[in-house]
Amino acid sequence: MCGIVGYVGKAEAPQALLQGLKRLEYRGYDSAGMATLNGSGLAVRKAVGRIAELEKLVAEEPIHGQTGICHTRWATHGSVTRENAHPHFDRSGKLALVHNGVIENYLELRAALEIDGHFFKSQTDTEVLAHLIGREFDRLKERSKGRLVEALRAALLQVIGTYGIAFIHEDVPGVIIGARRGSPLVLGIGKEENLLASDAAAMVSHTRDVVYLKDYEIVALDAEGFQITTLQGDGAGYVISQVEFSEKDVSKGDYPHYMLKEIFEQPRTVRDAMRGRLAPEEGTAKLGGLEMSNAELRDVERIVISGCGTALHAGMVGEYMIETLAHIPVECEFASELRYRNLPVPKDTLVFVISQSGETADTLAALRECQRKGHRTLGICNNVGSTIARENDGGVYMHAGPEIGVAATKSFTSQLVVQSLVALLLGRITHLSHSEGLNIIRELEKMPDKVAKVLELNDRIARIAKKYAQSKVMLFMGRQFNYPIALEGALKVKETSYIAASAHPSAELKHGVIALIDESTPSVFIAPRDAVFEKNLSNIEEVKARKGPVIAIGTEGDDRLAQVADDVILVPEAPDFLTPILMVIPLQLLAYHIAVELGRDVDKPRNLAKSVTVE
């Protein structure tokens, strides 16, 4: 949550900062601000609202300088006001700081600083941190880059909480200092310019050479180079990574919204998730990143899958996949609950954590908690340089490319594909025959084309969406593999349209949910032609008997749904365990088109941010 960009180099900083900040708007859009060093001090601009408001202000009241920092805010401490917008300043007004994260002991620190004569202009924890660093720096006689780092260390040793920060000081021009603990910060290495950002997407216009900073690392950068040290004062080794995506990958292209672009990228991302990982000659999947031998995998008696939001829904599908193909007991846990539970986990339990960003705070905490208790913990994520990717005991990279739209789409289907590969691998080393494994591979190889065929239904789904866009409540129902897809469909509608959508197992209809049925409440049934198709059909009949409108998503060739449902969307046939990949895409499109019809900001829904890096 929140986005940071810092630039130091030969170019004008405001243009570079705004360009990078626009690529991070998915991280927060309550307010935005920037500060530059213009040769005679700090120049500052702040605006409430989207980054466009800051851009407009900078156009009307230009600022200059070749060193600067900026920030787009997702409010945690303090309401959405100009005073609470970043950057924040120390008592001298010479230090400007931007911050992601939460300083948990800021009230105690603030009280101590007030006793020391400090006055605060905002309600934020960030301003306290700025004052703290400024006080430590003012105690030092020498005004240098090294002293800035020394002051930062002294301040951070007093802090409890999480942070990704960048700051500048007018007494030490041409220098940016950054640090991280629990909130991502990436160093971009350019030619006669260097950058800091919360996400590499902000800097691909300048460089694709990056260093993903680790917790408790501090970086000092100027136009010529950088130095990375630790909070303890030691030198820190680092690895320069190459960003896999380009500037084109983080643009919308010809699409009106990132969400629609990313939905339509799914034939490619589904293919990329399995590329190089299918072994037809052995009838299995190859997942070397798990860092486990077949013998070690065979010893697994139980699997726990943990995640948040969409990632948890993907894990719930994975539970069905693994239990069906590998006959290993699986349970799914909210990462936010797992980190605080004393969950009885037997010795031979394998843990998977799922996160698109690889930085989700609760999921990272769940990973660390499971590792602390001695359990091998694997990650499924989309960011090879993320904290989860670095700290896990092995894992699988999704290869979905950057996902900018706040509502996850292509990352979800990639997570499903990855888990189907895990299920295939586990099944083949236990009881699945070679021919069974080969049949699964053949079905997986057909999925990109089937996904493309589902996308051809876009116009039809748009018409259906228009019909139901004014609904105040929507119900989503599915069974077995597709109950989590009902949850995901309801989540997409809530996120993008703000309609009160809820999801339930179809069979639970009679156990209370049916009280919600009326003529103005549409029910979306996920009803492929599977073992429980007749049961789903019966549930639809029960809704129709009470005059409830029904949207049914079924399998091509089926004509029975059309006899009972008001609107029917048919997708290609697939094995039961792969139907969720196809069934979720109409729900993504339905949510998208309802949001567009209602005039919602599809890519940046209210109150939401893409990467939840605070608890």
Torsion sign (Cα): 87, 90, 92, 96: negative
Whether 610 is catalytic is yes
Whether 2 is catalytic is yes
Residue 604 host element (H or E): none
Peptide bond before residue 87 is cis, with ω within 30 degrees of 0 = yes
| Tokens 């031998």, residue located | 293
**Ramachandran angles phi, psi of 194, nearest 5°:** -140, 155
The CA distance from 241 to 41, in Å, is 35
- DSSP 8-state class, residue 25: G
| Tokens 């990650």, residue located | 379
Instruction: Please report, for the chain, how many H helices and E strands are present, in that order.
Output: 19, 26
- DSSP 8-state class, residue 87: P
What crossing angle do the helices spanning 579-597 and 483-497 adopt, rounded to 10°? 20
Q: Is 121 exposed, middle or buried (0-12, 13-18, 19+ CB in 10 A)?
A: exposed
**Active site residue: 2, 308, 332, 370, which one?**
2
**Active site residue: 261, 410, 492, 610, which one?**
610
584 and 412 in contact (C-beta within 8 Å)?
yes
- DSSP 8-state class, residue 423: H
Residue 149 host element (H or E): helix 145-156
* Strands of 464-596, DSSP E: 473-478, 500-505, 523-526, 550-555, 567-571
Neighbours of 459 (CB within 10 A): 9
* Cα–Cα–Cα angle for 438, 585, 451, rounded to 5 degrees: 40
Neighbours of 245 (CB within 10 A): 13
**Ramachandran angles phi, psi of 271, nearest 5°:** -65, -45
CA distances, 503 to each of 231, 420, 461, 467, 490 (Å): 46, 23, 20, 20, 6
The catalytic site residues sit at: 2, 610
